[in-house]
Amino acid sequence: MQLLSALLALLAVGGTLVLLVARLLAGKSDAAAAFVDGVRPLALPLSFSVSGFAMFGSLWFSEAANYNPCRLCWYQRTAMYPLAVITLVALIRRVVVRDADTQREITPYALTLAAAGVVISTYHYIVEWYPTLESNVCAIDVPCTTIWFREFGFVTLPFMALCGFVSIIILLSTTFTRSVGGSQESEQP
């Protein structure tokens, strides 16, 4: 499960970084614009997949593998778990109610949660590498400096959470508007 989770996290962040580069080049390249337009309808299902697997994975690591989550892990969960629920509800609403704007409607809320998650998981990842930076956030019995595993020499639980949050931000940002000739033109999901 550790290797699978690490590979999925790297795949998610790698794929969405390609999307980010394509989005930045979309104004200069028709191929990049076509790629972004092709991914846009998949952004919500992919966001749900990332957040849902992250939620499932964190529960598996704590409940099946018996890795006790520290306080920072719990804070990351408070950002990721609602993302799974929000994206699932938006996905169901889009499919069942045929409401195409649900992705755009949830984006500000989901991005806020994901941004908070990025901050927490980045701090947690740094604390793992530099334990002296820990600021008494965590308890003595479950310190935030505990590293349960380190796949490929750098992928840990907080790093995987960071990959998930970054992926969700990039995926959902495809619903933002772009400026065309000084006016705002809405991009369709």
Q: What are phi and psi of 54, to 5 degrees?
A: -60, -40
Coil, helix or strand at residue 151: strand
Quick one: which H or E segment has residue 10? helix 2-25
Joined tokens for residue 52: 């849902």
d(CA 67, CA 92): 32
pTM above 0.75, yes or no: yes
| Tokens 């003595």 -> residue | 140
Coil, helix or strand at residue 155: strand
Per-residue pLDDT of the chain (189 residues; tens, 9 = 90+): 899 999 999 999 999 999 999 999 988 999 999 999 999 889 999 999 999 999 999 999 999 999 989 999 999 999 999 999 999 998 888 777 666 677 778 888 999 999 999 999 999 999 999 888 877 777 777 788 888 899 999 999 999 999 999 999 999 988 764 444 444 444 444
**Strand spans (E) along 56-101:** none
Fold of the domain built from segment(s) 2-175: Bromodomain-like (1.20.1550)
Joined tokens for residue 93: 């609403």
150-181 core/surface letters (b: 16 or more CB in 10 A; e: else): ebeeebbbbbbbbbbbbbbbbbbbbbeeeeee
